[in-house]
Structure 1
Amino acid sequence: MNGTKTYAAEAARHRAFETRDAGAEGHFIIAVKTTGIYCRPGCPARPPKRENVEFFDTTGEARGAGYRACLRCKPDEPAQGARVAKMITEACRKLERDENIPSVAALAIAAGFSEGRFHRLFKQATGLSPKQYALAKRVEKFRDRLKGGETVTAALYDAGFNASSRAYEAGRRLGAKPRDVKSGGVALTLKAAVARCSLGFVGIAMSERGLCALAFGDSAKAAREAVQARFPKARLVDADGSLSAALARVVALVEEPAGAFDLPLDIRGTAFQERVWQALRKIPAGETRSYSAIARAIGKPTAQRAVAQACGANKIAVAIPCHRVVASDGGVGGYAFGVKRKKVLLDKEAAE
């Protein structure tokens, strides 16, 4: 806990303490002469008079001067942010490792938080509930085992689905029957349709679960090919009017991206991708976020590149609004269907 130039001056330290500057955490320790205790810069206790305060660079120096730790802000323990991060990491490892998914109550007790607070902190950090996270990781492992050549039964048990009856749940999350995944999606059949819109042509694909692809093209043929590219081994079947209602809702969404959209989505991705996509869906229309902001929102502040890749892997444009993610320098950034379309979408939302 070494001091830096930012908080080296005593006046700067007084200012940081008086304003409870969160950025001062870890830079210095404040000690109160009248009580004999030392605190974090952000301690919520009543502030002492300035003449009764002295500063130290470390807790060790404060102890050496005869002060004892504050029982309220507990300066000898890891900061709250570090504690929460460690708790979330340990909970994730337990959810990935244990054969039976631990209950939220059990995880909360182990973490030292109430059940409600633990659930909120976990979802804030990962974008998923503990159960959703555990299931997503198992499905991810199940998919990898199938693609690696294992039988459905072996892959099911290796992935942590401890009963064959859970195959239905795994298949529902995969969005396809296990044998379809094992064969690379060859047996997967999707209904497809194309319509004209202000961005050219929009193509969609629907599975039994819902909308699984939304793509654009300069022609009807290009839009359909863009849909096929999202499921290269699947068989697309022309809907022949059966998707007219769904297609009308999609066109309405393209024309008014800020409007309500009630079609069910068939979202297929890794646990990390789904966390990113959930974060994208929380961006209000008319606003944008940088890749780094999304990375921080899902608790992975150094994963900007992985976030960008997850945005690029998004199969359901507009409904999962990856167009709302822009470059950190303020530039529009890239878009799978062209920067021009991205600008039009952003302009539509800004005008509403």
Structure 2
Amino acid sequence: MNTQFHITDELAWAAFDSRDRAFDGRVIVAVTTTRIYCKPSCPARRPLRAHVQFYCDPADARDAGFRACLRCKPDEVGRDRVAVARAVALLGGEDAPTGLDELAAAVGYAPHHFHRLFKRATGVTPAAYARGLKATRAVAALEQEERVTDAIYEAGYSAPSRFYETAGDRLGMTPSAWKRGGAGVTIRWTLAETSLGPMLVAATDKGLCRVSFDEDAESLRLRFPHAQIVEGDGALARLAADVVAEVETPGLDRDLPIDVQGTAFQEAVWQALRAIPPGETRSYAQLAAAAGNPGAVRAAGTACGANQVAIVIPCHRAQRSDGTLGGYAYGLDRKLALRRREGVREAKRGD
């Protein structure tokens, strides 16, 4: 297959065979026995590999004599992606739509249909995405404005009460504590032994805020200079044991609490990472698409690098589009070890 996205036939078939929605719009699958072309996530029964060809887009498939599948409607994928991208841009603008009906109308979709479409593409609802954007602006404003109230209005909230309703969950601390650089927040830490080396586990009252290899309490103090850093108690020991278990025996679906913050895009990438089943991987391009911005492949890689809680947000399941490893903050040997424990089959080409 000659494609501008550099997707090999093997990768395209793997996406089609697993019904991977992240490849919808990036490759077209054509079945020679039926003369029908589909998107990779088409729910129809899979044909034999020998009866499948791949194309860059629907136009190429049509030129080759294939017709669109009436079940998965592959010609609509491009329109859907454009609509989601347009909605993301609208939500980030100064005159953002105030509700789902207005947003859906602006991009030409029915509200309920677009709600499902947006969540499938980004991992969050339009309302959650908008709240994330506001909270991200609030974080930036709190670092610049002298008064917390001014920062709240600057971020786009209609009143301080609207911000305080969700600020604790979003920021992990009160706005005034954030303004003081985390002063008043207690972070408990412990060093846990794993087969991959000692691991720092640190948490606030809300959840894990740092999980890393090759770090200690001093590195934690440098990262959170105004927080109260104390040794962990029994509750943290139990939480750390669950994290260690994820290292040693991944895949038991432990729902570990986290208290981390990022941009709306970073958090969408982290949600996409947490949704990957053990033993499976996603490319940075797939993660960017899942976060609602297919063109932000490099930013998806940066979001993986900004991950504060290794293992819990499994950025070791991210890789390049050609199947090779990419980077890992704690060394590629550890990344390989984690993936092998999950049963990941690595690409044969060198990284």
TMscore range, shorter length: 0.7 to 0.9
| Structure 2 counterpart of 1:215 | 212
| Structure 2 counterpart of 1:148 | 144
- Size of the alignment, in residue pairs? 294
CA distance in 1, matches of 2:276, 2:31: 37
Deviation of 1:271 after TM superposition, in Å, equals 0.3
The 3 A distance-change label for structure 1 pair 292 and 29 is closer
* Pairing 1:121-140 to 2, within 5 Å after superposition: 121-140=117-136
* Pairing 1:327-346 to 2, within 5 Å after superposition: 327-346=320-339
* Pairing 1:1-352 to 2, within 5 Å after superposition: 18-20=35-37, 23=55, 24-27=57-60, 42-43=67-68, 80-97=76-93, 102-168=98-164, 169-217=166-214, 222-228=215-221, 230-350=223-343
The 3 A distance-change label for structure 1 pair 226 and 257 is farther
Where 2:240 maps in the other structure, the secondary structure is helix
The 3 A distance-change label for structure 1 pair 91 and 329 is closer
Which range moved further: 276-285 or 203-212? 203-212
The 3 A distance-change label for structure 1 pair 140 and 128 is same
Q: What is the Cα-based RMSD across aligned positions, in Å?
A: 3.0
Deviation of 1:233 after TM superposition, in Å, equals 4.2
| Structure 1 counterpart of 2:8 | none
CA distance in 1, matches of 2:32, 2:322: 31
CA distance in 1, matches of 2:86, 2:157: 21
Residue identity (%): 41
1 or 2 for the larger relative contact order (CA 8 Å, sep ≥6)? 2
CA distance in 2, matches of 1:224, 1:300: 36
Deviation of 1:41 after TM superposition, in Å, equals 6.1
| Structure 2 segments unaligned to the other structure (5+ residues) | 1-29, 40-54, 345-351
Q: Does the 8 Å CA contact 2:207/2:257 hold for their aligned counterparts?
A: yes
Q: Does the 8 Å CA contact 2:251/2:278 hold for their aligned counterparts?
A: yes
Q: Deviations over 1:267-299 (max 9, x none)?
A: 311101001111111221112222222223333
CA distance in 2, matches of 1:233, 1:334: 30
CA distance in 1, matches of 2:233, 2:97: 44
| Structure 2 counterpart of 1:36 | none
CA distance in 2, matches of 1:272, 1:43: 33
- TM-score, normalisation: structure 1: 0.73
CA distance in 1, matches of 2:331, 2:264: 27
Deviation of 1:83 after TM superposition, in Å, equals 2.6
CA distance in 2, matches of 1:93, 1:261: 35
The 3 A distance-change label for structure 1 pair 43 and 344 is closer
The letter for the 2-side match of 1:20 is: Y
CA distance in 2, matches of 1:214, 1:28: 47
CA distance in 2, matches of 1:208, 1:307: 29
The 3 A distance-change label for structure 1 pair 16 and 141 is farther
Which range moved further: 170-179 or 134-143? 170-179
Q: Deviations over 1:232-256 (max 9, x none)?
A: 5433111243422212212212211
Q: Does the 8 Å CA contact 2:269/2:303 hold for their aligned counterparts?
A: yes
| Structure 2 counterpart of 1:57 | none
CA distance in 1, matches of 2:69, 2:341: 45
The 3 A distance-change label for structure 1 pair 330 and 269 is same
